[in-house]
Structure 1
Amino acid sequence: MIGAQEAIDIFVYSVRDGFVQVSAFVAVTVLLFSYIQYRTGGRIVTFLENNKRLQPIAGALLGLTPGCGGAIIAMPLYIRGTISFGTVVATLAATAGDAAFVILVLAPEAALYAYGIAFVAGVTFGYAIDIWGLGVGRVDRAVDRLSRPMTDGGFSTTSVASGGPSVSGYEMDNCGHDHGGDTEPSGPLTTFSHAVHVIWWAVAFSGLVAGVLYLARGAPEVPLELAPTFFGLFTVAGLVGTTLSFYLHFVGRRYIGEGEAGRIRDDFQSAYETFQHAAMETSMVTVWVIGAYLVYEYGVAIFAIDIGALTAAAGVLAPIAGAALGLIPGCAPQIVFAGLYAEGAIPFSALTANAISQDGDALFPLMAIDMKAAIIATIYTTIPALISGILLYYFWPFASFGFGVLG
């Protein structure tokens, strides 16, 4: 059992760390891709729709972007039927997650090899799924028996194995949600929500500065502090950012034109709308991230789980453990894992297996809209992770502890 004070500390630290370590980076990458979409008039989505053979490569490139923003962009594209399920798997397999920032800073050579292998494995497996299926139908039916698909708005479901999402193919515009535009309500809450949105971006950029400094300092322990210092910036940005994110997701989105979370926009009417969309998507991810942090941290505290002991297993069990750890959604355990690798506690084969298996925060938008597809996708990213990790263990000459770590 854990005491009341420890439970409170876990809650406060998780609420703070989730925003600075994850959401601030997600916000910038989602904004970047949304702004490109705005400046190109939606031609990125059109290009993907018209070039299906390139989709797994494009998806893996999105996933390879440090952080989870690129991969988060891809998930709503699958829901609307723009990209294939193989592309989803390629994207998630190549996703570096927020653990990439830790590895890039502390072990850049290892990051180059690990994420390069993840990219190749993701693309290869993505094409294999699209061409041959690789038993997706069997997994589809097994998941269907275990859990009822969760969808946003009560869509009828179809088979993931048929090549599309397990939501029906009609347009998202018919889902009954408020999609914004000219229909958004007016009044005090609308004005207040717009003000919160503007403040949210100021806090998000402050959180990004704190997050970069945090990584530059080697991801140290950060105490709670309210002062004009790095620790103070980290604490205030994290606590305020999460609070504002919860408001935008649960209340504000009903008043400022982004009533439906987890969707892709063909185009944006203005730069402000682009910022607004990125804030709403990031706020939705923040809600899931904080939930994942709390489950992880309370689980570690209650059950006394030692990730280092689990993943630093002897022999070929190390990459298997790394791949298994990647099944946990979110970036919290993966960031811990990356830190352990930088300390020389985990072999390179395990790092690479985890890099391929982990889906980062990109899985959360898919879980929010189509739980069935999310479960199947995370199962299928674990398969190439196991294959790659075991092959590296036996044949990679540098698959040892400490490969590529600075200092």
Structure 2
Amino acid sequence: MKVNVAILGAGCAGLALARCLKEQGFSGSVLLLESRQCYENDRTWCYWAKPDSQWHKMAQYRWQQCLFSSLNDAQHIHYYDSTSYCCLPAENYYDFCLQQLDSANVSLKMEVEVVSVSPTRSQSWLVETTAGNLEADIVIDTRPRPCEAILYQSFLGYEVTLSRPIFAPDTVRLMCNMHGDNQCMRFYYILPFSPWHILIEPTVFHRYPLNPDLLKDDLQSALRAEDIEIESIIRRESAILPMGQTHLEGSVLVKGGIAGGALRASSGYGFLRIQAWALACAQSIITKQKAFSHQQHHLQARMDHLFLNVIKHNPVDGPDYFIRMASQLNGDQFSAFMSDEAGMKEWMQVISALPKWPFIKEVMAGG
């Protein structure tokens, strides 16, 4: 079997690339290979988006204010005028992409494991799979892979219905009850879908990958802090996200998604970055017959890595740093900073908000 483009992995990034190839008018053959048996509503993607954007319209839930708080009662609320904090459930995204991919030249094979990928003498690729071998002109690998990082963001989320309504259902608890010890920084996150329906997610920034099942005590603490009584559990989600990747697994393949460096190092947000990469990569395949991995802005990556190293070595002070940032920037400025749209003004405000000595020490130490 011979195809023009083989996409390994049909998750967020793989589906986005295939969809963009079709939308941009690619006439060649595209094959997605996915190991899972079926798609499930197993995660949510959150991001800031403006009302005229595609992903603002696609979001199932939107909010205009977010709360930050620490365990010592410091708190700040962001109000958004020109943007919204958005949530897109996985089932909505998968359905949208799969409908867009209903095409003669794009195909998806599920329950297929990729065994190996190797170059051929004819400048193509031989892809060996559990369903047989194929040859492809271009291969993009979007499968998740272990990687080294400065910190790891582990979270355990439960979508639940409540016995009584939650307080302030119009406000996302973005980083609440932040506190740190000498190992990590902890907080929880609540998306109120309605007064009676929420997603609650305890989160840890740790120097090592932490099994999300170990966060069940954090979940109980968050429920007590918010005086929440669960009536029923709808579903569970969990993940370990690399923050500030320091080494990507060696490969000659073009990579996309998390393994390709899609996540914003200092926050773990990546959905809009993946969509932007997918569009640019699709255009490059069409015009230049060449794919590429996520492109990092050097200054932003350097600043993010510096910030993460400071958090890594000073986790007790981490909550104060985030509260300072939230207080110094208004809602729209903060969303621009988190969405890779910050200008020099926002960067200078972030720098001025943070204490200087921990960062100077980190620079001197080579962090």
Band of TM-score, shorter chain: under 0.3
Give the number of the structure whose residues are more often helix, by fraction.
Answer: 1
Normalised by the length of structure 2, the TM-score is: 0.26
Normalised by the length of structure 1, the TM-score is: 0.24
Give the number of the structure whose residues are more often strand, by fraction.
Answer: 2
Higher RCO structure (Cα 8 Å, ≥6 apart): 1
